[in-house]
């Protein structure tokens, strides 16, 4: 959230704290802790934390996001979210007109190069371990003035706490101000195994997600998901909107259950 929110003067942690304060203001409880496991128990769930504490719930809304798996290149991880970037919509404006590198890591890398080309006339595409652009893509790169550098990238060069270049296996250093990398996006969902839920390969090839219907309902009854855990491309706005949609769907489900139980109780009382 470095781009939009930071420019408006709000740090991501402050946004989180404001949201939590709002939840508490409506009588909700926020528990700090890492969930280790979730299990079905009776007509609800027990969520167990790493510290051994547990929480009961009638329904679950899972919003644990994803992990960005970066290529193992020395120096890369330390620059992540600073001058090693992935999303032009998040921080593209901050690197406009700079010398930008795009490290080929997956199916979206060519698109990523064309995206960053909108922001700078100086874009270099590093093929790294990929086969490189195909004939059509190479023509597109030539037409857009995107330079292609073949060979494995072995390090990210940093000076005065700034990325200054990309080192290749043959020792060449290509000067760059920023490097765009598409990480593999993997939903944080390991703790859902006890409910029969797991992340699966996303059809786009960019990572793993927990599938759900448009309201966030998963194939495990009573369990909903929202945000990056299910929608790998969601930014803050879409993740929050997903939570609101799922919350209304959960409430609808609870209303139905409460009503079923009330009708059953009424019938039972009438039959006495």
Ligand X SMILES: Cc1cc2nc3c(=O)[nH]c(=O)nc-3n(C[C@H](O)[C@H](O)[C@H](O)COP(=O)(O)OP(=O)(O)OC[C@H]3O[C@@H](n4cnc5c(N)ncnc54)[C@H](O)[C@@H]3O)c2cc1C
Q: Which residues bind ligand X (CB under 6 A)?
A: 1-4, 34-35, 63-65, 68, 81, 90, 188, 191, 227-228, 234-237, 239
CB of 172 to ligand X, least distance (A): 28
Write the CA distances from 100 to 76, 104, 123, 195, 255, integer angstroms. 15, 13, 5, 44, 53
CB of 138 to ligand X, least distance (A): 30
**Cβ–Cβ under 8 Å, residues 55 and 31:** yes
Token output for 152: 């494995």
**Cβ–Cβ under 8 Å, residues 212 and 225:** yes
CB of 99 to ligand X, least distance (A): 20
CB of 82 to ligand X, least distance (A): 8
User: Closest CB to ligand X among 83 and 166?
Assistant: 83
DSSP-assigned letter for residue 201: E
**Cβ–Cβ under 8 Å, residues 136 and 158:** no
Token output for 193: 């195994």
User: Closest CB to ligand X among 125 and 191?
Assistant: 191
User: Closest CB to ligand X among 30 and 152?
Assistant: 30
Of 199, 252, 184, whose CA–CA distance to 62 is shortest? 199
CB of 101 to ligand X, least distance (A): 17
User: Closest CB to ligand X among 108 and 239?
Assistant: 239
User: Closest CB to ligand X among 99 and 229?
Assistant: 229
> 25 φ, ψ to 5°?
-60, -25
User: Closest CB to ligand X among 40 and 147?
Assistant: 40
CB of 169 to ligand X, least distance (A): 27
Distance CA 25, CA 245 (A): 20
Torsion of CA 10, 236, 221, 249, to 10 degrees: 90
DSSP-assigned letter for residue 210: -
User: Closest CB to ligand X among 20 and 129?
Assistant: 20
CB of 173 to ligand X, least distance (A): 25
**Looking at beta carbons, which residue is closest to ligand X?**
227
Distance CA 132, CA 144 (A): 16
């Amino acid at each position: 959230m470095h781009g939009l929110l930071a420019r408006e003067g709000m740090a991501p942690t402050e946004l989180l704290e404001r949201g939590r304060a709002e939840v508490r203001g409506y009588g909700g409880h926020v528990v700090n802790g890492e969930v280790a496991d979730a299990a079905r128990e009776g007509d609800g769930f027990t969520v167990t934390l790493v510290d051994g504490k547990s929480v009961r719930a009638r329904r679950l809304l899972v919003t644990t996001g994803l992990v960005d798996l970066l290529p193992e290149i020395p120096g890369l991880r330390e620059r992540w979210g600073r001058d090693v970037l992935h999303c032009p919509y998040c921080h593209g404006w901050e690197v406009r007109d700079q010398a930008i590198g795009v490290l080929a890591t997956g199916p979206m890398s060519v698109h990523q190069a064309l995206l960053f080309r909108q922001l700078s006339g100086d874009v270099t595409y590093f093929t790294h371990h990929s086969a490189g652009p195909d004939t059509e893509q190479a023509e597109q790169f030539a037409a857009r003035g995107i330079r292609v550098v073949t060979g494995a990238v072995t390090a990210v060069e940093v000076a005065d706490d700034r990325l200054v270049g990309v080192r290749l296996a043959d020792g060449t250093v290509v000067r760059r101000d920023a490097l765009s990398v598409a990480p593999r996006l993997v939903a944080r969902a390991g703790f859902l195994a006890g409910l029969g839920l797991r992340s699966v390969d996303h059809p786009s090839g960019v990572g793993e997600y927990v599938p759900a219907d448009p309201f966030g309902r998963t194939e495990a009854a009573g369990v909903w998901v929202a945000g990056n855990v299910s929608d790998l491309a969601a930014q803050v706005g879409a993740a929050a909107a997903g939570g609101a949609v799922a919350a209304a769907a959960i409430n609808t489900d609870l209303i139905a259950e409460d009503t079923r139980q009330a009708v059953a109780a009424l019938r039972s009382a009438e039959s006495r």
